[in-house]
Chain A
């Protein structure tokens, strides 16, 4: 009866990605490689105005002077930036007036993922969710635009924003994450494909959750999304981002940028469920996910909350951050990062306190299984004039088995003596006694793990909008299928 622990762990980690399939849709691609011409082609294909091209070229020139960063805790194979296709768009771009016009292949793909557009449409009708589905680099379907337009809310693809709202884009793009920020941000600025743009005018509460599903699909295609959200004074918006990708052998690069600007008393909630292909159980393949997400709490009393559930990608490198510039502004970061098999995650946040009486909260829950490495890396910086700043950080790690690693790197830079900064960290293991107890009540080991993990991350999941919370819970269970402590 006594089962070898190692053997149980082998079984644990023998979990394969559920969403490994790819859609066969003809794509319009340009040859592999990156040079100034490629940047020009991308810009031309999107009919961009001159200023946008100039911007891209400046960013590209800067990128060429930069070096790919070398991370302490991540083990990354050399990325050949000349071996990547920088532009791919579905060939027959479906009409946007009706869901029925969406390519059936594409719809089927979404259905397999359990997030069919039909379902979304119903969901949207009932609970008010607008979907801006992104397939590869081009938005294929947008709903509820009209409803939003009535309130003066702009919610569209980034390319459309460049055409239709150039002044807003010019004003805010790069204002939170400049192209000089980091290697991948510079790259994104040069070659970004598409993404979403949301603008909430003064005093408007966005009545529905804005959501975008991203999905990488074309072979060898790096995806370079960018999202810009501007919330004017006294406005409110909740934005959802979720994604999955089909199974691939090659590593795919994803380098996205998300910028949020919150003016006085504005409140922005940004939730993510990330489930890209993590590679197989031997660590082959999987998405490289290098994302720069940053919010500027520009106005007094503004609030930004990041919530993320990260289960996918072979390598995740992201630190959704808040620059708390306005007095009394507030930043929150809730995160669940699950790693299994050979996945590596290095994620966390930066809370930069600049204004007076600024507050930040960090709740990070890491779950590691298999041979994965899961790091929390967080910076709390209190600037000189940030009187009475407060931060509370809680970083918990849950380990399954003894072949995985969990690491916590909290960095503190406190330059004002009135600051109160607290940090708590715990590490726990799913006990075999807990699993056995559940087994004796009729729960399978998988269910037991699912229950325990979902219990452990509840505090974070509870921050997600309802529809998302359910999806996220499913996902956690799937990503840890077969896992045992």
Chain B
């Protein structure tokens, strides 16, 4: 369970998150929508452990642990996954080597034996099929020269490999063609279980046709200003954000 209480974060002296409250329980799917610049990616990176932002107030508990006290790598090993809005290219580092190191770090942290090369490759094949990612991509360097859509697929592939307890997907749907969108959504659905949860950040209701959220939240100016069921997404699609912005003009 992920429990965010009154989370404030700033960069330089600019406060970007201004008191976020959100509870995500196992088995749930939460969608976070909101206008550009409202703080969705900031919230994601703060949770993932970016040290670009300074948390000035609030707390985050992750399965009973103080998430904010953990370094980014331990948050990942605890089972938090962050699919980047803009995945980063790492030239010269092969996907295979990258994933194998990552996965074995997770296993070490959880007192499990590292995978042998054979076991790892087998798992990788399985997950590749699950998310229908092109074999060529996993033979290349991490995200290097990947198209926008390929990068997003690669994020989902990594999620499949790491089997997180909570995954934050930051606009994973943007830049995907119709087929890729379906494939990625299918992947997310296949990986979904009663023990894990997903936070989907998106601008488009379209994705939510494939992945049905239990809750939809609207983030505006660093606060969650509205939460409701999936019908809220339709309303937003239709009316835009102006009515919400008006309601919350300070």
Residues in A with CB closer than 8 Å to B84 are 437, 440
Which of A439, A441, A454, A455 contacts B71, CB < 8 Å? Answer: A439
B211 touches A (CB below 8 Å): no
Shortest distance between the CB of B117 and any CB in chain A (Å): 15
Given contacts A1-B68, A439-B49, A439-B71, contact A455 B90 (CB under 8 A): yes
The 0/1 profile, CB within 8 Å of B marked 1, for residues 428-461 of chain A is: 0001111011111111110100011011101000
Q: Is the CB of A441 within 8 A of B102?
A: yes
A431 to B143, CA, bound (A): 15
Known interface pairs A2-B51, A2-B52, A455-B92; A440-B82 also in contact (CB < 8 Å): yes
Check B101 against A451 for contact (C-beta < 8 Å).
yes
Choose one: A2, A434, A439, A456; the contact of B73 (CB below 8 Å): A439
Given A441-B76, A442-B106, answer yes or no on A434-B51 (Cβ-Cβ < 8 Å): no
Map CB proximity to A onto B28-52 as digits: 1 under 8 Å, 0 otherwise: 0000000000000000011011111
Chain B 59-77 interface 0/1 with A at a Cβ cutoff of 8 Å (1 = within): 0000000001001110111
Residues of A with C-beta under 8 A to B109: 442
Provided the pairs A1-B53, A447-B101 are in contact, do residues A442 and B93 lie with their beta carbons within 8 angstroms? no
A444 touching B51, Cβ below 8 Å: no
- Chain B residues with Cβ under 8 A from A75's Cβ? none
What separation, in Å, do the CA atoms of A441 and B74 have in the docked complex?
9
Q: How far, in angstroms, from A102 to B187 measured CA to CA in the complex? A: 60
Q: How large is the interface on A (under 10, 10 to 19, 20 to 34, 35 or more residues)?
A: 20 to 34
Q: B205 CB to closest chain A CB, in angstroms?
A: 27
Q: Is the CB of B54 within 8 A of A1?
A: yes
Q: A442 vs B82: C-alpha distance in the bound complex, in angstroms?
A: 11
**Count class of interface residues, chain B:** 35 or more
Tell me, in angstroms, the Cα distance from A458 to B94 when the chains sit together: 11
Q: Is A3 an interface residue (CB 8 A)?
A: yes
Nearest chain B CB to A246 CB, angstrom units: 31
B221 at the interface (CB under 8 A from A): no
Which chain B residues lie closer than 8 Å to A433 at the CB level? 88
Residue from B51, B54, B93 within 8 A of A455 (CB atoms):
B93
* Alpha-carbon gap, A444 to B158, bound state (A): 17
With A1-B68, A437-B88 given, is the CB distance from A455 to B94 under 8 Å? yes
Closest A residue to B88 by beta carbon equals: A437
Residue B141 CB within 8 A of the other chain: yes
* In contact, B55 and A1 (Cβ under 8 angstroms): yes
CB neighbors of B among A273-306 (8 A)? none
Task: Closest B residue to A431 by CB, please name it.
Answer: B88
CA–CA, A431 and B52, complex, Å: 13
Residues of A within 8 A of B90 (CB): 434, 437-438, 451-452, 455
**In the complex, what residues of A have CB within 8 A of residue B48's CB?**
436, 440
Q: How distant is the Cα of A433 from the Cα of B101 in the complex, in angstroms?
A: 18
CB-CB < 8 A to B88: which residues of A?
Answer: 431, 433-434, 436-437
Would you call A441 and B158 a contact (CB within 8 A)? Answer: yes
Q: Contact flags (1/0) for B120-156 with A, using CB distance below 8 Å? A: 0000000000000000000001000000000000000
Chain A residues with CB under 8 A of B3: none
Q: Could you tell me the distance between the alpha carbons of A439 and B102 in the complex, rounded to whole angstroms?
A: 9
Which residues from chain A contact B51 at a C-beta distance below 8 Å?
1-3
A451 to B141, CA, bound (A): 11
Known contacts A433-B88, A439-B71, A440-B48; decide if A452 and B101 are in contact (CB<8 Å).
Answer: no
Q: Across the interface, which residues of A come within 8 angstroms of B162, CB to CB?
A: 441-442
CB distance from A43 to the nearest CB of B (A): 50
The residue of chain A having its C-beta at the shortest distance from the C-beta of B109 within the complex is: A442
Cβ–Cβ < 8 Å partners of A1 in chain B = 9, 46, 50-51, 53-55, 68
CA distance A310 to B5 in the complex (A): 51
Known: A2-B52, A439-B71, A440-B48. Is A447-B105 also a contact (CB below 8 A)? yes
In the assembled complex, which residues on chain B have CB atoms less than 8 Å from the CB atom of A436?
A: 45, 48-50, 72, 88
Alpha-carbon distance A52/B98, docked complex (angstroms): 55
User: Which residues of B from 137 to 191 have beta carbons under 8 Å from A?
Assistant: 141, 158, 162
Bound-state CA distance A1–B68 (Å) is: 8
B87 interface hit (Cβ, 8 Å): yes
Complex-state Cα separation, A202 to B102, whole angstroms = 50
- B interface residues, Cβ below 8 angstroms from A: 9, 11, 45-46, 48-55, 68, 71-73, 75-77, 81-82, 84, 87-94, 97-98, 101-103, 105-106, 109, 141, 158, 162
A-B residue pairs, 8 tightest by C-beta = A455-B92, A439-B72, A442-B76, A437-B88, A455-B93, A441-B102, A2-B54, A442-B105
17 A-B pairs in the complex with CB atoms less than 8 angstroms apart: A2-B51, A2-B54, A436-B48, A436-B50, A438-B90, A438-B102, A439-B71, A439-B72, A440-B81, A442-B73, A442-B76, A442-B103, A442-B109, A443-B101, A444-B105, A451-B93, A452-B90
